[in-house]
Amino acid sequence: MDAPAAPLPEDLAAIERETLAAIDAAADEAALEAVRVAALGKRGAVSERMKTLGAMSADERRVMGPALNGLKARVADAVGARREALVAEALQRRLAEERVDVTLETEPAPIVSGRIHPISQVWDELTAIFADLGFAIAEGPDIETDDLNFTKLNFPEGHPARDMHDTFFLPERADGTRRLLRTHTSPVQVRTMLAQRPPIRIIAPGRTYRCDSDQTHTPMFHQVEGLVVDETSHVGHLKWVLTEFCRAFFEVEDAAMRFRPSYFPFTEPSYEVDIRCRRSSAGIELGAGDDWLEILGSGMVHPNVLANCGLDPDVHQGFAWGMGIDRLAMLKYGMPDLRDLFEADVRWLTHYGFAPLDRPSLAGGLSR
Ligand code: DAH
């Protein structure tokens, strides 16, 4: 059995006190390593003492050997214990810092947070409805000739109906002609009849322009034109198509419609079409009530227009209509001021816009 260790000489006891205190105070592994080297490294305080053993007498060595070995072992143990504690602390700190709350919601992707403008939405809705009825999409340019915007549509030169259109004209060209920003989508009727033979069944959504601006008019607005030409279409078909469209578009069972006689140069007879509605302080409710709201113009294509487009009015006949897309959007989605549609205000769009992944379709629902 080992004899109880003799008390350490004072100088070794001081080394032990200071070294253990320094080990305790080491704030990280690098600091701890420095303390270890200072005590147990080749030139460390304890190692230097070990080197003195060789020069001692046998008796001295018998006392100092175990004393120094004991000191060395206690310092090494203390370093080991402190290192373990530091590693554990560092791990806890990292775990706390790098904590991820997997229950947090992720940032929505742009495809989810972006919004479809109500005009684009209504454009897609009416395209879905008319595509289902067998209509194709036709297009024409925003900058149009006077001939296609007016003359071929049976507005003769100097006709007063031309003045009602508040036309934006482009500067006159060398040959005396001037182009204009189309005032309606009706020139696409002419372009279509000039380009293809009947039977024709098209709609033409697009931008239109008139020099006018107030709560219900903007200088640029959107229309959708419709045209059917064959050898047998009549007013009954016109009424059915438009009634069917309104039922589908406004998503109501019964869309009572009123066809009022009217005048357009390019149709004969012509009708302005109203839909039944109820007006209240809450807004306009469609498909019920005792009021009427005008939503479109229509009629049988005028024989002069057919002839202007190279068709024989004794063989071909058809019907056409035009309506404002912006107005349809305001009515369906309860937006009071037309100008808001063109303000590009993100807050407005967030409120009135549509989720990009909900494409309108007759099967899936138009507006949901
Ligand atoms: N183009 C007319 C307008 O802008 C709307 C219109 C009325 C179009 C009757 C038509 C129609 O095709 O038949 O006021």
- DSSP assignment of 331-353: HHHT---GGGGGS--HHHHHHH-
* Pair (144, 81) in one structural domain: no
Judge whether 292 and 258 are in contact, CB under 8 Å. yes
Do 164 and 92 lie in one domain? The reply is no
In a domain, 315, yes or no: yes
Please provide the size of the chain in residues: 368
CA 129/CA 244 separation, integer angstroms: 9
Domain encompassing residue 62: 10-97
Nearest atom within ligand 1 for CA of residue 267: 13
Mean confidence (pLDDT) of the chain: 90
Q: How far is the CA of 164 from the centre of ligand 1 (A)?
A: 13
| Cα–Cα distance list, 122 to 28, 169, 223 (Å) | 66, 29, 11
Residue 1 lies in a domain: no
Residues 92 and 120 in one domain: no
Residues 164 and 221 in one domain: yes
Q: Which atom of ligand 1 is nearest to the CA of 208?
A: 4
217 secondary structure, DSSP code: B
222 C-alpha to center of ligand 1: Å? 12
Q: Are residues 285 and 215 in the same domain?
A: yes
Q: Per residue in 125-184, pLDDT tens?
A: 999 999 999 999 999 999 999 999 999 999 988 887 787 788 999 999 999 888 999 999
Query: Which tens digits make up the pLDDT trace of 78-122?
Result: 999 999 999 999 999 999 999 888 888 878 777 778 899 999 999
The answer to the question of residue 43 being in a domain is yes
At residue 277, what are phi and psi to the nearest 5 degrees?
-155, 170
Domain contains 361: no
Helix (H) or strand (E) segment spanning residue 80: helix 58-97
When pLDDT is cut at 50, 70 and 90, the band that residue 338 belongs to is: confident
161 CA to centre of ligand 1 in angstroms: 12
Cα separation, 364 vs 367, in Å, equals: 9
Residue 330: inside a domain: yes
Find the CATH number of the domain harbouring 124.
3.30.930.10
Q: Whose CA is nearest to atom 5 of ligand 1?
A: 322
Q: Output the ligand 1 site: residues, CB below 6 A.
A: 184, 186, 225, 264, 267, 297-299, 320-322
Nearest-angstrom CA–CA distance, 98 and 301: 73
Residue nearest to atom 12 of ligand 1 (CA): 321
How many folded domains does the chain comprise?
A: 2
Q: Is residue 36 part of a domain?
A: yes
